[in-house]
Structure 1
Amino acid sequence: MAGWALCMALLLAALAGAEGESRYEKFLRQHVDYPRTPSLAAHRYCETMLARRRVTAPGRPCKPSNTFVHAPAEDLVAACTQTPDATGFHSTSVPMDLTACRLRGGDTRPPCAYRARQVQHHVRVACLNGLPVHLAGTHAPAA
């Protein structure tokens, strides 16, 4: 019984912390893994990281896709100093190492199974007060 109470207390504390985070902090939690977490098997990276970072959770639908950037947060903040494109998004000046996670199959209910793909792309972000707050997409370097 004490173990259950401790588990519930930790869960409530985690949820309270998630609600109190800024949009930039949420962006970092959901999208930045630098340096890349090395100990994970490649085929389990997405499932493990999305659960560890509280992007997916029991009782919530699976997120269709998520991208982890394996570069320092400062490099993404620097993107906010770039001139925005016609849609208002800012792109990183250089390609970055990424892991793109895509939901496998059509079922959006847990357990969530993802396919991981390693790429080097530019990252497009929405910025607020000079900080990235939304990963709007990625694009391959120009040939």
Structure 2
Amino acid sequence: MKKRMGPGLLLLIFLLLAYMAMARRETPYEKFQRQHVDTSRSWEPDPNRYCNLMMLRRNMTVSSCKELNSFVHGVLAGVVAICSSEGTWHHGNFYYSNSPFPVTDCQTTGASLWPRCIYRGAVSHKRICVACTNEQPVHYALPSVCSGP
């Protein structure tokens, strides 16, 4: 007797293949947006809950728990402008924002073991440093990479 795959399993396989195809085509700028920019005006006010939701939603807990990640809150054009008129060159292709941004930093807790990733969030208002390629941000730099201008 031949067994057939149910519609739920077929849908799951299709979604997995679609996700894998999409991930392969992601440009460095698109990856930066997915991992570091949150333009929504109604983000979760509890930073711990926000980090746990966003790290999952933005696919940063797929094969491991990303240890540290920062989300910049604001208009995408404002973040992109750091690479030109709204940023100051630091070194190489790194630029500091001229103005501070609201940022939520997400750090794994000691209890984080994949696939159950648990994050602690901290909100601040600070100037950020990004690496730019073709006047687009492609990497969010840690303070150790861009120590004070």
Structure-1-length-normalised TM-score: 0.86
Structure whose CA Rg is larger? 2
- Aligned match of 1:126: 131
Q: Which amino acid aligns with 1:119?
A: S
Alignment of 1:1-143 (within 5 A): 1-39=6-44, 41-57=46-62, 60-81=63-84, 82-105=87-110, 107-137=112-142
Identity of aligned residues (%): 38
Instruction: Tell whether the 8 Å contact from 1:63 to 1:108 is kept in structure 2 after alignment.
Output: no
In structure 2, C-alpha distance between the alignment counterparts of 1:137 and 1:63, rounded to whole Å: 14
Matched letter for residue 97 of structure 1: P
Structure 1 residues 43-98: Cα deviation after superposition (integer angstroms, max 9, x where no partner)? 321121111111111xx121110000001111111111134213541011111001
Count of residues in Structure 1 that have an aligned counterpart in Structure 2:
138
Deviation at 1:40, TM superposition (A): 6.9
Bigger mean CA offset, 81-90 vs 1-10: 81-90
Q: What value does the CA root-mean-square deviation take over the aligned residues?
A: 2.1
| Runs of 5+ unmatched residues, structure 1 | none
Kept in 2, the 8 Å contact 1:122–1:138? The answer is no
Q: Which residue identity is paired with 1:46?
A: C
Equivalent AA in structure 1 for residue 102 of structure 2: D
- SS of 2:114's partner is coil
* Unaligned ranges ≥5, structure 2: 1-5
Specify the SS of the correspondent of 2:13.
helix
1:18: Cα distance to partner?
A: 1.4
Change (3 A) 1:84 1:42: closer
